[in-house]
Structure 1
Amino acid sequence: MTRRKQAAEAMVEEVLNDFITEQESEGVDDEEWRYQSTTPGRPDMAISWEFSLPDGSVFTDARWMQLAVEMQIAVQALFSIRPNRRKLKNSAAYDLSARVRFLVRWMVLSGHSSMGELTNEALDEYKAHVYLLKAGVGGTKGYTANTVSKYLSFPVLLYAVRDAIRNAGLPIIPMVPYGGVSPFSLAKASSAPLPERIPAVPDALYIPTMNAVAEWMDIQIPEALAALEEYFAIQAKFPEDTARQKAEMAKLTFSTPPSMSEPWCPGFAQPWVRTRRRRTKEKYRETGLDMWYATRALFSDVRDCCTIAIQGGTGMRISELCGLAALPYDKKTGWPACLEIERSPSGEEELFFIKGYIYKGEERDRPGRWLAGMRPVGSDYLPLPIRAALVLDKLYSRYRKLTGRNDLLFSLNNNRRLPDLAEHIGDVASVVIADGQNMWVHHYVDFPDEFEKWKITSHQWRKSFARFCFRVDETLLPAISRQLHHISVAMTEKYYLGTDTELEWLLRSESIEYASELLYRLTHGESSAGGMGNDAEDLTWSFDTNLEAEDQDEALDAIRRITSADNVWGWGLNWGACVFRPEHAQCNLRDSTAKILATSPKFDGLSPTSSCQYCRNLLILKEHKPFWQARKIKMIAVRDSNRAAGLSDVEAVTERNIAQCDKILERFE
């Protein structure tokens, strides 16, 4: 196989791997395929095959049977379990449905009725069509390069599962789409703007919000829970007398917090006037709420305050929050199953954790826990996220009994009032949590007018948490990375701390310290591999003679002076560490925007088989050995699978990867 063909096939594999994660099929019918959600907070997804076409027909019409079967076989192949590959996540069904419709409609417009007609000349026309409709002239459509790339990548996905289509006796896309050029590279060449990173909640909004949450935990929430208990008691006492229910609820009064000049809740004697966001629009509208609707709004206010406390105080993802369990209760503490307390190593403090599961990028959910605070032994203080979880446990307790489920959070699926039937209780939806958090902030938090239209996404709490902790103490960066369950400190730095100048300078000391520790281990006889591991002897000679000092601190100081003066930063990767020197960085030198003053590798696209394998900055140490052991096992399985499938033309690639693993592992024997 030629080098160019290998690169093209590698592009196809990369696009497929980027797209594939976990998914389970619930069943199919002729017009719609449904997929059950495996991520808490996400709804079930469906792929609809009955959609209109530009010529007035419908895709389920008999005339399109062959193309429909080709597409259905391809989708089944993408969702099926294949050796050494993961399955699709449920959210992929939504994307796939949109991509199928877009490509099929273009094919009908262009007179194509089979995948076998999608030559590279035809796909050049499809690319122009995507550019026009998804990017527009001068980027006027508003879609980012990521969106454009999704539509361009669909033919690549169809090509990746060509064996399944061919085995059914149907024609396939005849060659690697776009001549092997990656869809994202093509998307960047369009006029579509590059995607912006999700920002953190601005400090002027985050800090007053968390202060308001803290006040609510002390004042508003105890009163709200008492009011809700009274509501349920009144409902039970006067089940048929709505007038008496209203009269009794109208007697409830609420306190005036120190930060306010009037009671925080108007009570239930008169309808509430609430400003609510229309889900599909940015603007708000005023709504009048009667007693039953107001009681439900109060219930939602408590929920929204508590979810902000947990996400803003721990950095949990929305799916991790939605997946928390309340049952069974801990026999010792009486707390819900998602809470845990343990002694610190010194025995002088108690550490509080929220425990659950991590769903992002996982083929199976795996256990995870998040530090929620600490206190001296003997204190009765409870951290804010722990108090919030306890409130949610109490808030939903009646619905837990009603349904027999163990979830901490639920969705209330009826209209207007609080439900009293199990059929009205369902899985919590992340969109409900996100919408509720926005409404709570805009209703109860005093923030500058410039943020009136700011829409908070659930992921922004995570970034704000990271930035706040880092500003308190820059040495917390590795701890923040672990708290967010990132595999690398580099992920935390690049996507969560952003390009804030102050944070960059705080980060510099941590990264230089990491580089110094790596170089100390390298130059003091520790087993190593990688490009820098091979240079160990030369590097030892090139450093100051103080490296020979018997005192470790003195030797480290010597290295630290050099790394600081030369601005050498250290970065953690899953397969090794990068002691970044721009003049040796292959990812930097091979890029069209190479910078001689760069301080970090180009993380996008890095992998064990990328430029890292040839780079003199890569240092592999004993803690990276499990990665290479697992990689060897995986590569052997890939090779054996390819042999069984008769794919001998790619065996050289897998053998080279296995040899790479062997060479590295030999250094640690």
Structure 2
Amino acid sequence: MATDKRAALETAEDALFDETFEADFQLDEQPTKGEVWKFLNDTAGQGEHSNLYWDFPLPDGSQFSDAKWSILYRSIQAGVDAMFETRGHQRARRPGSLSTLSVSMRYFVGWMAIFGHTDLSCMDATRFDDYAHWIEMTKCRNTEDGQKSVTVLHARSLLAFPATLFRYNEVLQGQGLPPIPTIPYSGRSVMEVANDICKRANEGYQPVPDGLFVPAMNKVVQWLDCQIDEIQEAIDCYLRPYAPKFSGAIKAAKRRDELAKLKFSSDKDTGQPWFAGFNFSAPITATRHYTHGKSRRGRKVELNAGHAIRHLLNAARDCCTIALQGTVAMRISEICGLQVFDTKSINEWPSCVTVERSLSGMDELFFITGTVFKGKAPPRPGRWLAGTRPVGSSDIPIPIRALMKLVRLYAPWRRMSGRSDLILDFSNRVGLAKEKEKVSPVRAERLNEGQKEWIKEYVKAGPEFDNWDLSSHQWRMTFARFCVRVDRTLLPAISRHFHHISIKTTEQHYTGEDLEIRYLIREAALELAAELLYDATRSKGQASGRLMEEIPEVVEEMGHHVDMDNADESQAFLRATMESDNTWGWDMLWCGCLFRPEHAKCHLKAAVRKIIPIAPALDALGPFSSCSQCKNQIVLPRHRPFWEERRKKLIAERKGNKEKGLSDVDFIIGYRLAQCNEILRRIRRSTPS
């Protein structure tokens, strides 16, 4: 039986490469009319409804709704229905994932039809292997440039559909339908199988390369300073009522005259006006490189005044969304979901911006408030740190400036439509919306295409980026990796900022095992280790921490090799020593850490143990817990602000406990306060108060 099945599979493989058969095996045709499931979409940037079409053509010429597929049809429907219901601790899928699910479902059903499988009871271990092999043949073939036809993540989504159905066997049995009889892929994870059939590991989203990111962000700042204001002036000029008592032709003529007077500044890269202006003696043209309709891509089109204004409005919008994603790392759905109301927050900031004082009281923190749509959880409030400035400064962070520009750009259409969305779109194909019915929320795909269009048209980067297929998600990758390059201990903060469920998500999918980053982190960590140790040798009794027990030995050894008064020589010697010992330096607010895994107390309390740790356990750090008794800890004068602030809080907390009659718990506060006092006493020995 196995031999006959394998022979049939090999025959099908041979047929796959026959042009006639390959032309027939297309599952991307439009579905015919039939049963449609509509799901209400609550994710910003997507359509109001997501639709799942059940009647579609199969490779053998039949329709999925035909009677011979009735058991498979009902089984797939029961499984998909269960996926969108919350069951116990398992949350329902979000409607936004329906597009990917539909592709995977139709591909799996097409494979079942090719081999004549009419229900899920056929899916034994061999059939799962055959399905994976089929995906490898049809979707993972090499192209001319040596790359695979699909990404690992796409292969994973195809593999995952029958594996997901297996989880709902109980639902199938409850409806009298045959379940899947065996564990999918012999218990291997679908990602592992996808890596195997694609013959490479999952690379995920890649960050925007520095060669593109740097000129793009420089251009964003230029536009925020100048070009967007010029676009705003052009929009105001176009919308201003002219000669209200006269005919439409006279109004249009007066509008053209005013637009023709507008002057546009020179681009800093080319020295030429960045926009030619409204010289109506010559046509205004634009080339759409990434328009949603593929047939229109690469075509140069002529624009009248209204079309040109919309073209400029979209360019300003795209610049601002790049500013928000590149400097705040918000998801595109979170930007689409931002709301602006007539009421403004304190100091006349837009209503989606809040400003708070830092703990020290010396800085102002800017937060963008909105909605998080990611994951299976319902939409929930979220906020993102968007920048800081010293108290009294008039500087406005880049993302806040971009947000304020967007507030003003779309203000006329918010008033017209009564909508509160920060960014709006127009349902009319060209020109500006003139009726409120034509104003709609913006779609995420528009912003993604617009960002690529803006970079293609206005950013001067190297030729290697001419056809760079930018994804809006890549800005988040760049942001995360930049932060990790600055300080690895920022990982928990990045995870919270990204609204990830766990640090593992951030580390695995955003910071990753990037060899370049690991090298940069290692170099920075070794330099910091040498710096911390040198400061400790020169502290003259100001430093504290258990690492200080080893300092006399370090000083003695260093004195045999270098002039200890020469900072460069001393730090070079210490760096070489740290490198040979594989000791990395990390700096926290309350202490420095010369990390040696054999002494690390934090890893004893960490949620996840690492075989060869190279850094403190970020989820188990604390000035009064693991660090205080650790031989890796050293507290230097640079850490004084933390301990002074901590001392003030402890004194206030002890006073509050006394007023509440809770003096019996003061022994903990007393212990911590004594620790603060001892550290500060050492630091203050020879430093000004």
Q: Does the TM-score normalized on the shorter chain lie above 0.5?
A: yes
Match of 1:304 in 2: 318
Quote how far apart the aligned CAs of 1:107 are.
1.8
Residue aligning to 1:640? none
| Aligned mates of 2:348, 2:434 — CA distance in 1 | 26
CA-CA distance at 1:295 after TM superposition? 0.9
Q: Is residue 2:69 matched to residue 1:61? A: no
- Aligned residue among 252, 266, 275 for 2:287: 275
- Aligned position for 1:322: 336
Other structure's SS at 2:393 match: coil
Identity of aligned residues (%): 37
Identify the match of residue 155 of structure 2 among 127, 140, 148.
148
1:41 matched to 2:77: no
1:127 aligns with 2:132: yes
1:114 aligned partner: 119
1:198 alignment partner, SS class: coil
**Aligned mates of 2:549, 2:330 — CA distance in 1:** 37
Tell me by how many angstroms 1:551 deviates.
7.1
User: Could you give the per-residue CA deviations for residues 319-365 of structure 1, whole angstroms, max 9, x where no partner exists?
Assistant: 22112111252353232221111222332322222222333235133
Aligned-residue CA RMSD (Å): 3.9
In structure 2, how many angstroms separate the alpha carbons of the residues matched to 1:387 and 1:346?
Answer: 25
Distance 2:370 2:397 in 1: 18
Q: Does 1:252 align with 2:266?
A: no
Cα pair 1:234 1:245 within 8 Å, conserved: no
Which residue number in structure 1 is paired with residue 373 of structure 2? 359
Q: CA deviation at 1:100?
A: 2.0
Task: Find the aligned partners of 2:354 and 2:56 in 1 and give their Cα distance.
Answer: 50
Which deviates further from its counterpart, 480-489 or 550-559? 550-559
Determine if contact 1:213/1:309 at 8 Å carries over to the other structure.
yes
Shift of the alpha carbon at 1:582? 10
Equivalent in the alignment of 2:95 = 90
Q: Larger deviation: 412-421 or 200-209?
A: 200-209
Structure 2 letter corresponding to 1:37? N
Which whole-Å CA distance do the structure 2 matches of 1:557 and 1:202 have between them?
45
Distance (Å, rounded) in 1 between the aligned partners of 2:548 and 2:339? 46
AA of the residue aligned to 1:264? W
**Contact 2:332-2:472 at 8 Å conserved across structures:** yes
> What SS does the corresponding residue of 1:190 show, helix, strand or coil?
helix
After superposition, the C-alpha distances for 1:38-80 in whole angstroms (9 at most, x for unaligned) are 2222334221111002232211223322221111111111111
Aligned counterpart, 2:348: 334
- Structure 1 residues 195 and 180, CA, compared in 2 at 3 Å: closer, same or farther? closer
CA positional deviation for 1:317: 1.8
Superposed counterparts of 1:32-431, under 5 Å: 32-43=36-47, 44-136=49-141, 142-234=149-241, 237=244, 240-241=248-249, 243-244=252-253, 247-257=256-266, 259=268, 260-268=270-278, 269=280, 270-279=282-291, 284-327=298-341, 329-361=343-375, 363-431=377-445
Rounded Cα–Cα distance in structure 2 between residues aligned with 1:210 and 1:620: 31
Moved more, 435-444 or 242-251: 242-251
Mark the CA change 1:613 to 1:553 in structure 2 (over 3 Å): closer, same or farther.
closer
Aligned CA distance change for structure 1 residues 185 and 556 (closer, same or farther; 3 Å): farther
Query: How far apart are residue 491 of structure 1 and its match?
Result: 5.3
**Residue 39 of structure 2 aligns to a residue in which SS?**
strand
Structure 2 contact 370–381 (Cα < 8 Å) conserved: yes
Q: Please give the secondary structure, in 1, of the residue aligned with 2:128.
A: helix
Mapped partners of 2:248, 2:619: distance in 1: 72
Q: CA deviation at 1:184?
A: 2.8
Q: Distance in 2 between matches of 1:443 and 1:621?
A: 45
Work out whether residues 238 and 259 of structure 2, in 8 Å CA contact, stay in contact via their aligned partners in 1. Answer: no
Aligned AA (1:267): G
Give the letter aligned to residue 381 of structure 2: P
Task: Say how many residue pairs are matched.
Answer: 533
> For 1:341, what is the secondary structure of its paired residue?
strand
Tell me, in whole angstroms, the C-alpha distance in 1 between the residues paired with 2:237 and 2:79.
57
Q: Is the 8 A contact 1:329 1:335 kept in 2?
A: no
Checking the alignment, whether the CA contact within 8 Å between 1:325 and 1:356 is kept in structure 2 is yes
Larger deviation, residues 233-242 vs 367-376: 233-242
Kindly indicate whether the alpha-carbon contact (under 8 Å) linking 1:512 and 1:564 is maintained by their aligned counterparts in 2.
yes
Distance 1:487 1:436, change over 3 A: same
Give the secondary structure class of the aligned counterpart of 1:458: coil
| Larger deviation, residues 283-292 vs 75-84 | 283-292
Q: Distance in 2 between matches of 1:394 and 1:362?
A: 34
Distance (whole Å) between structure 2 residues aligned to residue 481 and residue 157 of structure 1:
28
Tell me the TM-score normalised to structure 1 length. Answer: 0.70
SS in 2 for 1:216: helix
Instruction: Return the alpha-carbon distance in structure 2 between the equivalents of residues 54 and 83 of structure 1.
Output: 38
Question: Is the 1:434–1:458 contact (alpha carbons within 8 Å) kept by the matching residues of 2?
Answer: yes
Partners in 2 of 1:108 and 1:496 — Cα distance?
39
Q: Structure 1: how far apart are the matches of 2:612 and 2:84?
A: 40
- The question of whether the paired residues in 2 share the 8 Å contact of 1:118 and 1:173 is answered with yes
Taking the aligned partners of 2:306 and 2:182, their CA distance within structure 1 comes to: 62
1:495/1:66 CA distance change after superposition, 3 Å:
closer
> Is 497-506 or 369-378 further displaced after alignment?
497-506
Partner of 2:473: 459
Asked if the contact 2:133/2:197 (under 8 Å) is kept, the reply is no
Q: Please tell me whether Structure 1 or Structure 2 has the larger radius of gyration of its CA atoms.
A: 2
| Distance (whole Å) between structure 2 residues aligned to residue 46 and residue 514 of structure 1 | 55
Q: Report the Cα distance in structure 2 between the residues aligned to 1:557 and 1:564, rounded to whole angstroms.
A: 21
Distance of aligned partners of 1:511 and 1:34 in 2 relative to their CA distance in 1, 3 Å threshold: farther
Aligned partners of 2:148 and 2:198 also within 8 Å: no
Residue type matched to 1:134 in 2?
A: K
User: Per-residue CA shift, 1:390-444, capped at 9, x if unaligned?
Assistant: 1111111122222222221122221111102222222221111111111112222
Unaligned runs of 5+ in 2: 1-32, 530-540, 555-573, 587-593, 623-689
Structure 1 spans left out of the alignment, 5+ residues = 1-28, 516-548, 572-578, 584-599, 601-606, 625-669
Query: Any residues of structure 2 matched to 1:548-567 within 5 Å, and which?
Result: 552-555=544-547, 566-567=581-582
> TM-score, with normalisation over the residues of structure 2?
0.68
Deviation digits for residues 611-630 of structure 1 (CA, Å, limit 9, x no counterpart): x5897979797789xxxxxx
- On the 8 A contact 1:474/1:506 being kept in 2, the answer is no
Say whether the 8 Å CA contact 2:358–2:364 is kept in structure 1. yes
The residue number in structure 2 matching 1:540 is: none
Question: Hey, what's the Cα distance between the residues in 2 that align with 1:414 and 1:377?
Answer: 46
Which is further off, 483-492 or 351-360?
Answer: 483-492
Match of 1:433 among 429, 447, 457: 447
The structure-2 alpha-carbon separation of the partners of 1:465 and 1:102, relative to structure 1 and needing over 3 Å to count, comes to closer
